[in-house]
Amino acid sequence: MAELSADLGDGAEGVFAPIQNQPLRVQIASRLRDAIISGRLHPGTVLVETALAEQMNVSRAPIREAVQLLENDGLVESVAYKGKRVKLLTAREVEEIYSLREIFEVAAVERILAREVSVEPLAACCAAMEEAVRMNDYEALVAADEAFHRTLIRLSDHELLLSLWNNLYMRIHQIMALRHRGERNLAEIAGNHPPIVRALEAGNRAEATRLIAQHTRALADFDPESIAQGSQ
C-alpha cells in the first residue's frame, strides 16, 4: 500500500472519482428529474408506478419513494383520481420564476462589478455556446447556457444566492426546454450572451444590468398552456 501511495505521488489528485453508493430511490429520482427538466416528460404527464417500475426493472417501492422526492422538489403534484403527475406550469408561476431569476442575476451582476471580479469564465461559456452553434448541437448549447448563468451567480461570491439559484434553475431549465422544443434558433440563443460579458468587462453597470434584465424578460415571454399535455 505504501508503494502504491508513493507511486501515485502528489500528482494523483483528481485521478479517481469518489465511489458513489446512492440509494435506489435517489438514482430513480435523478433519472425522472432529468427527464422532467429536459422536457422529455411534459407537464401533465401521469407517473404510473407499474409502468415506470417495468421500464427501470425495479420494484414499485423505490419508484414511489423517488416520486415523493420529486414532489418535495415541486416538480410533481398529486391529483385526485389520477395519482401523481408532472406539475403543470401556470402563467403566474412562469412569471414568478423569471421575475425572481431577474432579481438574482441583476444582484449577481452588481456584486461582480462592485468586486471587480474577472469575467473570463463567462467568456469561456460564450465560446462553448458558439462551438455548439457551429456543431448544431442543441444539448451542448443548453449545457453551455446553463453554465453561463450558473457561473454568473458563482462569480458574485454569494453562497446563499448560489444555493437558491440551484433550486430555481431546475424550473428555469424545464421552461427553457419546453419553450425551445419546437423552434430552436441556436445562433439567437447564443448571441444574447456576449454583449453581457462585454458590458461587464467595460465596468458598465447600467448596460450590464439592462442587458441581463432584458435577457431574462425575453425568456419569460412564454405560454405555459401551450406545452401541457392533454392529461389534465
Listed residues 37, 61, 86: the one ending a domain: 86
From CA 228, how far away is CA 232, in angstroms rounded?
A: 8
* CB 87, CB 44: distance < 8 Å: no
- Closest by CA to 201, choosing from 111, 113, 105, 108, is 113
**Which residue shows C-alpha cell 450590464?**
208
Are 82 and 96 found together in one domain? no
Are 139 and 155 found together in one domain? yes
pLDDT digits (tens, 9 = 90+) for 176-198: 888 766 566 889 889 999 999 99
pLDDT digits (tens, 9 = 90+) for 76-131: 999 988 899 999 888 888 888 889 999 999 999 999 999 999 999 999 999 999 99
Evaluated on CA atoms 197, 34, 102, 159, the torsion sign reads negative
Are 184 and 170 found together in one domain? yes
- CATH code: domain of residue 102: 1.20.120.530
Are 38 and 127 found together in one domain? no
- CATH code: domain of residue 23: 1.10.10.10
SS3 of 80, please?
Answer: coil
Give the domain extent around 51.
17-86
**Within a domain: residue 195?**
yes
Are 135 and 44 found together in one domain? no
Q: What pLDDT shows up at residue 74?
A: 87
**Within a domain: residue 38?**
yes
Are 96 and 198 found together in one domain? yes
CA angle 25, 61, 65 (to 5 degrees): 45
* CB 88, CB 44: distance < 8 Å: yes
Listed residues 86, 101, 119: the one ending a domain: 86
Are 148 and 205 found together in one domain? yes
**Within a domain: residue 115?**
yes
Considering its fold, how many domains does the chain have in total?
A: 2
**Within a domain: residue 57?**
yes
pLDDT digits (tens, 9 = 90+) for 56-77: 999 999 999 999 999 998 899 9
**Within a domain: residue 232?**
no
Taking every pair of Cα atoms in the chain, the longest distance, rounded to a whole number of angstroms, is 64
From CA 186, how far away is CA 39, in angstroms rounded?
A: 17
Listed residues 58, 86, 114: the one ending a domain: 86
Record the pTM.
0.77
Quickly state the pLDDT bin for 4 (edges 50, 70, 90).
Answer: very low
- Closest by CA to 106, choosing from 206, 182, 181, 228, is 206
Lowest-pLDDT range of 16-30, 156-170, 214-228: 214-228
